[in-house]
């Protein structure tokens, strides 16, 4: 078993991004600027946004958090999005999901100008991705592709099984793995909560990408020897022995499954850090494309 070390790979990519930012600066260019809009006090969202901002600082990227109360109206949030769309100093921005129930996430996502949509969630960018045109790829799938590349994982002709069909992870990664390029050229099976005999399908996977949000769902009897596993799931479970008060669980029972896998991502330290560097790469791209 070889660990797909997202933490280490992300650290290497951060150095590359930092060097590019230095180059931009020394050529008289503008320092890329990422804005994160955070609505309310969701603990996980605060942690994610803080990690994104810390990563920006580390690579010398300008970053700003816009914090809004969870009583903010949809109209007020859309006004903020409009301001950020028009602000010439802002290269890219994200609105951290989930949003409070009274706000329509689709409406907000669609209001973000596609050239600043560094999360890659806008329908226009998703459409470009489907057509294999240059665009911002959604950060988590982009992170998985970079891990595949950096670890030289063969994808050509492989059977890739994806669990979960969310529009931010499962659906886009299923599309990307089937593209006629590297990483890609897989035969892809996209599974979800209505899939019948899931274990029969996962047992045939050469590459298994798991994004359903159920701790330790994947057990050894569900995979074949030599499988490559990307565990996207992150679930926080209260744990008094931890300083943070919780422990993070992936969707794969790592300890039980790891010896059957040829490559596997841990949780934490696998796909999570790769998602953050992908956001940095998208922001750099947004700044350069201006």
Is residue 208 near ligand NAD by the rule CB under 6 A? Answer: no
Is residue 280 near ligand NAD by the rule CB under 6 A? Answer: no
- Closer to ligand NAD by CB, 90 or 94: give it: 94
Is residue 195 near ligand NAD by the rule CB under 6 A? Answer: yes
Is residue 272 near ligand NAD by the rule CB under 6 A? Answer: yes
Question: Cβ 146 to ligand NAD, closest distance in Å?
Answer: 13
Among 170, 172, 184, 266, binds ligand NAD (CB under 6 A): 170
Residues of 23-38 as b/e, b for ≥16 C-beta within 10 angstroms?
Answer: ebeeeeeeebbbbbbb
Among 36, 55, 211, 229, binds ligand NAD (CB under 6 A): 211
214, with CB counted inside 10 A (0-12, 13-18, 19+), is middle
Is residue 202 near ligand NAD by the rule CB under 6 A? Answer: no
Among 7, 113, 159, 165, binds ligand NAD (CB under 6 A): 165
Q: In Å, how far are 3, 4, 146, 153, 212 from 149, measured between CA atoms? A: 14, 11, 5, 6, 24
Q: Which residues touch 27 (CB under 8 Å, ≥6 apart)?
A: none
Question: Cβ 30 to ligand NAD, closest distance in Å?
Answer: 28
DSSP annotation string for 92-138: EEEEPSPPPTTS-HHHHHHHS-GGGBTT--SHHHHHHHHTT-S-PPP
Tell me the residue nearest to ligand NAD as measured from the CB.
213
Query: What are the helix (H) ranges across the chain?
Result: 6-26, 43-59, 74-86, 105-111, 123-130, 139-150, 170-178, 198-202, 254-257, 271-288
Is residue 277 near ligand NAD by the rule CB under 6 A? Answer: no
The token duo for 206 is 């050469």
- Closer to ligand NAD by CB, 183 or 233: give it: 233
Choose one: 60-68, 116-124, 129-137, 159-167; the region binding ligand NAD (CB under 6 A). 159-167
The residues carrying an active-site annotation are 52, 96, 119
Is residue 166 near ligand NAD by the rule CB under 6 A? Answer: yes
Residues that bind ligand NAD in the complex, under the rule CB under 6 A: 140, 163-166, 168-170, 191-193, 195, 198, 211-213, 232-235, 271-272, 275
């Amino acid at each position: 078993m070889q660990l797909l070390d997202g933490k280490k790979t992300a650290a290497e990519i951060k150095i590359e991004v930092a060097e590019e930012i230095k180059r931009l600066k020394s050529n008289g260019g503008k320092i890329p600027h990422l804005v994160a809009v955070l609505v309310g006090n969701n603990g996980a969202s605060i942690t994610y946004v803080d990690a994104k901002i810390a990563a920006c600082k580390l690579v010398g990227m300008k970053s700003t958090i816009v914090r809004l109360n969870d009583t903010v109206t949809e109209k007020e949030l859309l006004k903020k999005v409009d301001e950020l769309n028009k602000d010439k100093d802002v290269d890219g921005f994200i609105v951290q999901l989930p949003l409070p129930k009274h706000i329509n996430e689709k409406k907000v996502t669609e209001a973000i100008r596609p050239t600043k949509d560094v999360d890659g969630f806008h329908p226009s960018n998703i459409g470009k991705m489907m057509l294999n045109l240059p665009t911002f790829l959604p950060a988590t799938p982009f992170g998985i592709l970079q891990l595949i590349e950096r670890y030289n994982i063969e994808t050509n002709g492989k059977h890739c099984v994806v669990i979960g069909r969310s529009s931010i992870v499962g659906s886009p990664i299923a599309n990307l793995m089937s593209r006629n390029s590297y990483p890609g050229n897989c035969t892809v099976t996209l599974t979800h909560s209505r899939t019948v005999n899931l274990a029969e399908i996962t047992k045939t996977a050469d590459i298994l990408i798991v994004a359903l949000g159920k701790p330790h769902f994947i057990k050894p009897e569900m995979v074949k020897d030599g499988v490559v596993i990307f565990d996207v799931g992150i679930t926080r479970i209260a744990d008094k022995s931890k300083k943070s008060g919780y422990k993070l669980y992936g969707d794969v029972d790592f300890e039980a499954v790891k010896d059957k896998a040829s490559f596997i991502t841990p949780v934490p330290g696998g796909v999570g850090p790769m998602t953050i560097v992908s956001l940095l790469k998208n922001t750099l791209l947004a700044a350069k494309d201006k």
